């Protein structure tokens, strides 16, 4: 990607890749004067996406006289009127993350990953409060984050905060094996009634974990629709002999099969696992084959099973035609929807008989 602006002001490096995309590198060294940060802000007034790197800076630095203007610049940066997305890579200062959440009140998308979270117990509490109190976030991604082992209680608290975030629609959490939590902790996120998409990765997937998720999902109000669920197994399946994998997969899919008998809104479940690729310096993700019954029920949901079950008695002929046409050449789906109103077949048969009688009658008259 070509850089259209590359500015280094003392303490902050700015790389502008487009009108709306900015990369920020933090490395405070000496005082940034007011003219410098004022001019920089004019250049980035239209920025919607900030990618922050090397962000191990502590906000307390901004209270020091020699870094006062850097603090003003940071506050102005996270308060940009069009700022919607904040992507964070490298070390994450918990205090600075709280600073961003506190001032970026219009932030829609927050992502942090590929580095440890550095902070005190009090700062982790402030971060939890920052997530819970934020009124605009709809997308949260914590990718490969490493929480201090002695502060796992705060990563557990973060799960509860996610369940209370009032506008959150999509959440992706990975590297979960390093969080020091169990399946019941991660499953708390499903208590958030507004979530449409959940991705959980980096844990050892087994039937207990699947059952915990299904247990939480089954408690959701039917009107609180979750569409997509992605689960990533981290190495658990790789330790099992190939002859036993099929049996394990049946155990994993079994709870979801029971859930989908009544859940008519979940339309996508993807289970992935880590693959070690020969002659490759990194692992890759592979998608596990779905249970045929699970995939069939998911497909019915994508085709509108919930709507049809609730409105079949009042659906017009045109609506039924559209619903059946959506099945295409899938005879199983077609048969399922016809079974919801067998009279559709009778109507077609009666119509054919009436048409034939009319033709015979016309022939006799002639």
In the chain, domain spans: 1-139, 169-302, 323-365
The domain 1-139: what is its CATH number?
3.80.10
CATH number of 169-302: 3.80.10
Buried b (16+ CB within 10 A) or exposed e, 147-157: bbeebeebbbb
Banded model confidence at residue 87, pLDDT cuts 50, 70, 90: confident
Tokens of 80: 């940009």
Q: What is the pLDDT of residues 248-293, one digit of tens each?
A: 677 788 888 888 988 888 999 888 765 554 455 544 555 666 788 9
> pLDDT, tens digit, for every residue of 119-150?
888 888 888 889 888 989 999 998 767 666 66
Q: 169-302: same fold as 1-139?
A: yes
Percent of the chain with pLDDT over 90: 11
């Amino acid at each position: 990607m070509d850089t259209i602006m590359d500015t280094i002001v003392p303490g902050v490096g700015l790389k502008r890749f487009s009108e709306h995309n900015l990369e920020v590198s933090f490395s405070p060294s000496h005082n940034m004067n007011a003219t410098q940060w004022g001019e920089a802000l004019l250049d980035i007034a239209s920025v919607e996406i900030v990618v922050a790197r090397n962000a191990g800076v502590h906000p307390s630095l901004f209270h020091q006289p020699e870094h006062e203007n850097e603090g003003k610049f940071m506050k102005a940066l996270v308060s940009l009127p069009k700022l919607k997305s904040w992507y964070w890579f490298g070390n994450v200062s918990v205090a600075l993350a709280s600073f961003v959440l506190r001032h970026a009140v219009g932030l829609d998308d927050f992502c942090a990953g590929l580095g440890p979270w550095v902070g005190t117990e009090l700062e982790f509490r402030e971060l939890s409060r920052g997530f819970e109190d934020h009124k605009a976030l709809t997308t949260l991604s914590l990718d490969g984050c490493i929480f201090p082992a002695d502060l796992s209680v705060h990563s557990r608290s973060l799960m509860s905060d996610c369940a209370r975030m009032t506008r959150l629609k999509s959440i992706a959490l990975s590297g979960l094996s390093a969080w020091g939590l169990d399946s019941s902790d991660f499953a708390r996120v499903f208590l958030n009634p507004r979530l449409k998409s959940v991705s959980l990765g980096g844990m050892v997937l087994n039937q207990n974990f699947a059952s915990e998720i299904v247990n939480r999902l089954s408690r959701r109000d039917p009107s609180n629709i979750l569409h997509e669920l992605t689960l990533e197994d981290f190495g658990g399946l790789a330790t099992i002999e190939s002859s036993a994998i099929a049996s394990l997969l049946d155990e994993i899919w079994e709870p979801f099969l029971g859930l989908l008998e009544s859940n008519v809104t979940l339309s996508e479940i993807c289970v992935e696992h880590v693959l070690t690729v020969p002659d490759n310096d990194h692992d890759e993700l592979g998608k596990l084959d779905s249970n045929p019954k699970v995939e069939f029920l998911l497909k019915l949901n994508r085709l509108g099973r919930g709507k049809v079950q609730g409105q079949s008695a009042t659906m017009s002929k045109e609506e039924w035609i559209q619903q059946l046409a959506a099945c295409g050449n899938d005879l199983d789906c077609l048969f399922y929807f016809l079974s919801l109103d067998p009279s559709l077949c009778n109507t077609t048969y009666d119509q054919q008989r009436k048409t034939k009688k009319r033709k015979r009658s016309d022939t006799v008259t002639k």
